[in-house]
Structure 1
Amino acid sequence: MSTTPWYRDGRLHFGAGIENTFVPQERPGERAIDEYALTEHYERWSDDLDLASSVDAEFLRWGIPWHVVSPERGRWDWSWTDRVLDGFAARGIRPIVDLLHYGTPTWIEGEFAHPDYASFVAEYAARAAERYRDLATDYTPVNEPMLHALFSGEYAYWPPYRQGPAGLVEISTAIARGFVETQRAVAEVLGERATFVHVDASMRYAGDIDAPEHRETAERYRHQAFLVEDLVTGAVGTDHPLLPLLRAHGTSDDTLAWFAENSVQPDVMGVNYYPRHSTELFESGIHHSGGFADPRPTRDDGVEGLAEMLRTYAARYGAPVMLAETCVTDDVATRLRWLDDSVAAVQGLRADGLDVVGYTWWPLFDMYEWTYRHSDEPRSAHLLTMGLHDLVETETGLARRRNPVADRFAEYASRGAR
């Protein structure tokens, strides 16, 4: 058996993902969102893994529902995840496990702002790594940590509902500390067998970014897109552009020294890129918060934006990169065009010498938009048609219907396996 890590074998690895956003907290006007419940993955997990096999996916980005395995402090229930990870092994699919995909269990008061959040998430990570040490060695400590920080820390959209730059700094540093402790906990269990796939959302800013009313904000946004990853990798030094912001909002020199001394690195840097959403536009004379409820307009920069983001992350963090999520939400013909164009772009980057090791279509089957949380409409009103398989409402629940995007993806995946 080869001891070469999968990301060092020279191939382009094709996989998919199952949407695993979990924000289980509720309050008036906001209902819990659990994508596994919405898509019926809890009941249909075995069939869903068969879907991954059917498209020749080598890996599947998939998350442990922390709020399910830890429903109360000190109580653990791994029964469902035991079955699913055994299912991965039975089918020969590599799980890349998301340990945190937006939400915490409801018993953590204040969520990321709880003073013991880092120790809570580290304990959970260590227990998961130990329990599945023979089934999973690839981990994403936090999926899209900067979106976590924005939604929970700047936009007051998700718990703990902090707002503005002060909230952003508080939640960014808290998530970053938990990120570090998570990776260290998994590494302590698995040693050199562990592979860490860091994953963040690519954020590009264009338009009237030099307009007087936008210049300062746009400059901050360009740098803060990398803030959590910079913190966890120990890259926030005396010359970091956001150091004044961090210090102005309570980040001490001792905190920054802790990150420098305890830095963790990605084995693979995952980049999530959605052509219709990853480039936000500033417009002269118009204010948009950039929050989910008040978004700036976007521009589709297609494969040009994709190539820029992959090159940027590779250069910034010095690790192999993978396209960790991509798709367009549209009809089948449009999805097929993006699949063809994005695969060609990735292959072109590889031919130019960029170390791109993975391609991920997200998701394996359709999902439901996060607006479900703030709505009283049925899930069907929030369906996003973006998967390799369609979700179809039937009398017995959600059927999965293979569409031509799955067939095309399988062609690419089977070629990549050779």
Structure 2
Amino acid sequence: MAHSFLTNIKQHFGSGGYAGDEFGGAGGTAGRGLPSGNAGNFMFATGIECSYPTIEHGKVRRDLLEECGHYEHWQKDLQLVQDLGLKVLRYGLPYHKTHLGPGKYDWEFADLVMNEMLRLGITPILDLLHFGVPDWLGNFQNPELPIHFADYCGAVAERYPWVRYYTPVNEIYVTAKFSAKDGVWNEQLKSDEAFVTAIKHLVAASIMGNQQIARRRPDCVIVQSESAEFTHEMRAERTPEVQLNNKLRFLALDLLYAHHPDGEVCTYLRKNGMSQKEYDWFMAGEPPGYQIMGNDYYGRNEQMILPNGEVVTATDVLGWFNITYAYYLRYRKPVMHTETNVFDAEQAPAWLWKQWVNILQMRKAGVPVLGFTWYSLIDQVDWNIGLARKEGTVNACGLFDLKRKPRPVAEAYRQLLQEYGNITIIPHGELFEQTDRPATLKVEI
């Protein structure tokens, strides 16, 4: 009887540890260890909370960089990012303080922070408009917003040519909704027409800002952070308004990515002030650069409307995976989990791991997930009421508290990084490491 092929292999090559295994074979790496920062490495990130909308009809500015102590402790905050082992930081320059007027800028604070990030080897995803505009621009009803914001984006890209990753306008849908539909921030209007006006100005600003960034960085990577939302209506007979709102959650990305909304949404747009010329302009094509669809998910993003009309939070009924997968099937863009947290510091570690399970499931489904973000580095203030009033309530959702002491979730994140920090975006993702070549036109299939 012939002996086993294994006998021949053992005689010729030995009983294991074969030459070549170190190049990704049976002895390849599992992806453990803190993030390397190499191209192709999954992007683990945190963010500095930087919202700056106005309330009380423009009389009060909510500047979270100030309220959370970042202007005072920015060096410590950046050091905390490095000490955790993170290489990527979602960071918002204070637009309202930096852009003083047409062609006028104050770079003093921005230069300090950006130079320190460069020194520490932190890769910023620069967030250029986060829920508010400078006083001289008024609010999101201003049709001049796109041209002035585009100039600002170009100025930022020119001043920091080493930056590649940008979020031109953070959470466009939420910005327009809170400002013009819910009446909470900025213009504080409550109408469909004001909402449509705000969203078209914000999307146009994002597109034109993206254009100016791409002029300076043709290889720019645009991480469009958007809120992943869904409302469950617990009624046998559905309400048209609720069903329309579940379609409108896609509106900002539909306009940004030149994806035709359905007929009901198109009718809504025309009825509330979007002209055919404006619609055709949005549908002309996608913005330049490499586009990543960032989806933010908090438990409060999902709601249930009960038969009696009561609205309750529906945490994790669908969850980040199911909601984001619907967005992915719609736009077919690489994905990043760009924000998550929970206000209970003791529950935060479990929430972190649950969100990571969602990431792993998305990867198993074959969707290219580029990164994950715990938002934010430091506790926040008054987000339990959506910044609607200045109460000073501390939201214990940071990796560190306002005194820069670690929360339990900081250790959980460190553990997650040590276990998964060197995974690639997809298996053998080194083959597809990001190039510095300019982005080129997509080929439709």
2:44 alignment partner in structure 1: 14
* Structure 1 residue aligned with 2:172: 145
User: 1:7–1:268: 8 Å Cα contact kept in structure 2?
Assistant: no
Comparing 125-134 and 352-361, the one that deviates more: 352-361
Equivalent of 1:322 in 326, 330, 336: 336
| Whole-angstrom distance in 2 between the partners of 1:400 and 1:376 | 22
Q: Find the residue that maps to 1:113 and give its secondary structure.
A: coil
Corresponding residue to 2:218 among 191, 204, 212: 191
Aligned to 2:441: none
Instruction: Write the distance in 1 (CA, Å) between the matches of 2:37 and 2:326.
Output: 19
Q: How far off is 1:403 after superposition?
A: 2.4
Task: Work out whether 1:230 is the aligned partner of 2:258.
Answer: no
Identity of aligned residues (%): 27
What is the number of equivalent residue pairs in this alignment?
Answer: 385
Residue 197 of structure 2 corresponds to which residue in structure 1? 170
Q: CA RMSD in A?
A: 2.2
1:84 and 1:42 map into 2 onto residues whose CA distance is 10
Q: Flag the 1:24–1:80 CA change in 2: closer, same or farther, 3 A.
A: farther
The one-letter code of the counterpart of 1:279 is E
Give the match's secondary structure for 1:96: strand
3-state secondary structure, aligned to 2:218: helix
User: Which residue of structure 1 aligns with residue 399 of structure 2?
Assistant: 388
In 2, the alpha carbon distance for the partners of 1:119 and 1:159 equals: 19
The 1:376–1:258 alpha-carbon spacing in structure 2 relative to 1, beyond 3 Å, is: closer
Equivalent positions of 1:105-116 (< 5 A) are: 105-109=134-138, 111-116=139-144
Q: How far apart are residue 7 of structure 1 and its match? A: 11
Change (3 A) 1:91 1:209: farther
Structure 2 residue matching 1:206: 3-state secondary structure? strand
Deviation at 1:93, TM superposition (A): 1.1
Normalising to structure 2: TM-score of the pair?
0.82
Which of these two proteins has the greater Rg computed from alpha carbons? 2
TM-score with structure 1 length normalisation?
0.87
- SS, match of residue 303 in structure 2: strand
Q: In structure 2, what is the equivalent of residue 355 of structure 1?
A: 368
Distance in 2 of aligned mates of 1:307 and 1:88: 32
Q: Equivalent residue for 1:410? A: 414
Q: Does 1:84 align with 2:105?
A: no
SS in structure 2 at match of 1:400: coil
Distance 2:41 2:364 in 1: 12
Larger mean CA deviation between 96-105 and 241-250 belongs to 241-250
Whether the 8 Å contact between 1:271 and 1:309 is mirrored in structure 2 is no
Does the alignment pair 1:128 with 2:132? no
Partners of 2:101 and 2:221 lie apart in 1 by 29
In 1, are the aligned partners of 2:345 and 2:408 still within 8 Å (CA)? no
Q: What amino acid is the match of 1:130?
A: E
- Check whether the contact 2:57–2:187 (CA below 8 A) recurs between aligned residues: no
Tell me, which stretches of 5 or more residues in structure 1 are unaligned?
1-5, 288-295, 392-398
Q: Which residue of 2 aligns with 1:200?
A: 226
Instruction: Quote the residue 2:244 is aligned against.
Output: 220
Letter of the structure 2 residue corresponding to residue 348 of structure 1: Q
Which 4+ stretches in 1 moved above 6 angstroms? Answer: none
Of 119, 130, 133, the residue aligned with 1:101 is: 130
1:47 and 2:76 equivalent? yes
Aligned equivalents of 2:309 and 2:224: distance in 1?
Answer: 35
Q: How far does the alpha carbon of each residue in 1:266-323 deviate from its partner, in whole angstroms, 9 at most, with x for none?
A: 6211000012x01111222427xxxxxxxx3211126x41110221222111111011
CA distance in 2, matches of 1:210, 1:230: 29
Is the Cα contact below 8 Å between 1:389 and 1:403 reproduced in 2?
yes
Distance in 2 (CA, whole Å) between partners of 1:124 and 1:210 is 50
| TM-superposed deviation, 1:250 | 1.8
- How far the C-alpha of 1:240 sits from its partner, in A, is 4.2
